[in-house]
A and B are shown apart, each in its own frame.
Chain A
Amino acid sequence: MYTKEMLESMKKVEANRAANAVMEPKRMTAEENDTLLKTYHPDYREEEFDVLAIGPNKGEKVPKELAALLQANSRIHPEEIDLSRVDYDVDVLIIGGGGAGASAAIEADNAGAKTMIVTKLRIGDANTMMAEGGIQAADKPNDSPAIHYLDAFGGGHFAAKPELLYKLVTEAPEAIAWLNDLGVEFDKAPDGTMITTHGGGTSRKRMHAAKDYSGAEIMRTLRDEVLNREIPVVDFTAAIELILDENGKAAGAVLLNMETQEILIARAKTVIIATGGAGRLHYQGFPTSNHYGATADGLILAYRAGAKLLYPDTLQYHPTGAAYPEQIFGALVTEKVRSLGAKLINANGEVFMHPLETRDVAAASIIRECSANGKGVPTPEGVGVWLDTPMIELKGGEGTIEKRIPAMMRMFGKYDIDIRKEPILVYPTLHYQNGGIDITSDGQSTVENLFVAGEAVGGIHGRNRLMGNSLLDVIVFGRNAGRSASAKAKETTTGALTLAHVDAYAKEMADAGIVSDIVSPKLLPDYRRKK
């Protein structure tokens, strides 16, 4: 499967494997990290960002691709929409059917609220489903929420909102217990002890996993629970604009049937945005590990309705996307591969970094190795470095790969690469939106009655996120939003519905001299061949 040139380089990897496997590469100092990030991390390429001219974050920079969607035209003409013909009338409307949306729905249902999920694809078509490596929680005797806090706060460059991070780490063990109680099958030793590993930047082994299907196992269980509760799920239906009431509170959404193009109106006492990330916007031309619908829709809807964003200029490039074969270009190679002992190796067979640096540092280091250092391995789509998977079995014994990372073995096995015997080629892939909509610790945005959960939130992690803290945040903040939104719904009287904010935003655009031929939210990427 590998090309001749790759096989030549692979010989060097094999020759050095035994020595490379036992060496402990030193970690970079804080100063080295800083310089590396500023020189090589994509977030620091100034020319790839635009400054917003309108809206709550006016004057701040965001990726060009996001700016183009934030400062674009609505998909609707408000005067053509009849808000008096309500198709769905609920207490809590949840937009998005991933881990955060499903968790929110379960808690809102627990609280007795009339709840509904709308999703533009199916429930479970979400980045949660694709999270492979695991979920963090400080539940071992040598660990504590305070140590978890320090790891995440430092890993996020001390930019997380303290009250959000406090919530994340203190509610983490309960989140694991809740999932376990719903029937999620965590990897456990025979005595019930959770099998936990390190992730990049963790100082304690607190990564809980369900093989390398961690997110899939969590998502399918949450989905099953939503269906058991008979919470309505309206699938293949996108929210294309929020509806406010006359007092400026969130009060529903304009929906679009993705297949028939029919417009529907959902009225709600409170709304939860759980629309996930933005990988499918392919910032800076990067491939992505994200699911098909990751197009930042929630950010667009919320921004047009007046909600403030936090850290929208910071993205996570997962250090190890598949660089080869081209059929899986950009697909996620879980960090767990490195947790289990595989190291990153350059074209000459040399270990060039500690395998468990934080993701931003690891990504920048791989980019440096392949650019300035010139020690990458050329591939049809660009370049990559080796991730020496056979080291895992040297360290953990034969059978470790099949038992702990079966999805990875299967993904490469389909292209005749046996990761137990051969290393794989990796390069950073667009993975996670660190920033998003600004919330308070009850999950509410700056727009009253508009709640947010999951990847659409900004500020939980700061400017970089540790492995395993995202699955955790969709559960903790999903449940949190479900509880808060249902409690708020009880005390809310919704006034007359309006889309005046859509007109006002269009006027603001016109006044700023912005002319756009784009409509947003994007909903789905377009991969059709351009002739």
Chain B
Amino acid sequence: METMVHIFLMGKQYEVPSNLTIMKAMEYAGYQLIRGCGCRNGFCGACATIYRVKGDRELKVCLACQTKVEDNMYVATLPFFPLVKQVYDIEKVSATQQIMMQLYPEIYACIGCNACTNSCTQGLNVMQYIAYAQRGDFEKCAEESFDCVMCGVCSSRCPAGISHPQVAMLARRLNGKYLAPKSQHLEDRVREIKNGDFKELLENLMQKPLSEMQELYNHREIEQ
């Protein structure tokens, strides 16, 4: 016998099995989701959700696909939030503090309330990565923000109007492109292929009869 709980979806009460996630509970209640549902697996940030348990003062946030229902949970979904995404040319920008001042000056209006960190569905230290961005320390900003799924809940809680996920996105791209060490072996291999170095080897391989191909595959040496 499954245990049932009462939840409130946008304020309306439903009775659902207690072992469901919020997302599955909405479907159980009869919602055919269009918005607010993406990967169903905690990676895409489509199902940002705000809830409060009756009698509790604290507003909590979560991803609906990753969170179990609780009795007397009041649920409001946040399938879209108007983040500010500035447009730039990744080839023309440089990884300096000026780029943040230019594209996202509002980060310098951060009042240090930490509402972003408290609201992060991934448990990230959001205010800290914004602080790194302010200082132009993109490597640290990238590292600290790496697990962000860009659900936008942090921005919905920010009194300074910062679009944290977009700031972090910029920092990660700058870090990945300009600051992280170059991979010499990759550049070499791309050049060798352009040079046609492997063409003959591959074409010879592709022309082999199936039996020989199977023999080669079944006895290939595997790196330890």
* B positions within 8 Å CB-CB of A: 19-21, 24, 27-35, 37-44, 46, 66-68, 85, 87-90, 122-123, 142, 146-147, 149-150, 169, 172-177, 180-187, 189-190, 193, 198, 201-202, 205-206, 210, 213-214, 216-218, 220-223
Contacts and interface: CB of A to CB of B under 8 A. Distances in A.
A155 to B, nearest CB: 8
A334 to B, nearest CB: 11
B20 A213 contact: no
A181 interface: yes
28 contacts: A145-B202, A149-B206, A154-B220, A158-B213, A158-B214, A169-B202, A170-B202, A173-B186, A174-B190, A180-B176, A182-B176, A183-B175, A185-B146, A186-B176, A186-B183, A192-B181, A192-B183, A193-B183, A216-B43, A216-B149, A228-B89, A228-B90, A259-B34, A406-B147, A527-B24, A528-B27, A528-B28, A529-B29
Chain A contact residues (Cβ within 8 angstroms of B): what range? 35 or more
Contact of A158 (B146, B210, B220, B222): B210
Given A139-B186, A327-B21, A166 B37 contact: no
Given A194-B186, A205-B223, 6 more contacts: A29-B218, A141-B185, A154-B218, A221-B173, A407-B42, A407-B43
Nearest to A225: B90
A508 to B, nearest CB: 31
B221 A203 contact: yes
A185 B142 contact: yes
A139 B185 contact: yes
Contact of B169 (A150, A213, A224): A224
Contacts of B210: 158
Contacts of B213: 150, 153-154, 158
B177 A182 contact: yes
Contacts of A7: none
Contacts of B172: 183, 185, 217, 221
A150 B218 CA distance: 10
B177 A124 contact: no
Given A227-B85, A228-B89, A236 B142 contact: no
A392 interface: no
B122 A150 contact: no
A258 interface: yes
A524 B32 contact: yes
A130 B39 CA distance: 7
Residue of B41, B46, B90 with highest tally of chain A CB at under 10 A: B41
A220 interface: yes
A230 B88 CA distance: 10
A379 interface: no
B44 A125 contact: yes
Contacts of A180: 176-177, 183, 186
A166 B205 CA distance: 11
A283 interface: no
Interface string A172-194: 01101100111111101011111
A58 interface: no
B19 A291 contact: no
Contacts of A171: 193
A121 interface: yes
A462 B149 CA distance: 33
Contacts of B46: 121-122, 125
A410 B172 CA distance: 21
Nearest to A380: B19
B202 A236 contact: no
A21 B88 CA distance: 49
B183 A194 contact: yes
A292 B40 contact: yes
A157 to B, nearest CB: 10
A228 B87 contact: yes
Given A154-B214, A326-B19, A130 B44 contact: yes
A410 B39 CA distance: 16
Contacts of B123: 410
A363 interface: no
A278 to B, nearest CB: 15
A353 B119 CA distance: 43
Nearest to B40: A292
Interface string A374-396: 00000000000000000000000
A407 B123 CA distance: 12
Contacts of A184: 176
A188 B186 CA distance: 12
Nearest to B29: A529
A129 B43 contact: yes
B31 A528 contact: yes
A142 interface: yes
Interface string A216-239: 110011001101101000001000
Interface in A111-142: 121-122, 124-125, 129-130, 137-142
A140 B213 CA distance: 23
A312 to B, nearest CB: 23
A412 B201 CA distance: 45
Contacts of B177: 180-183
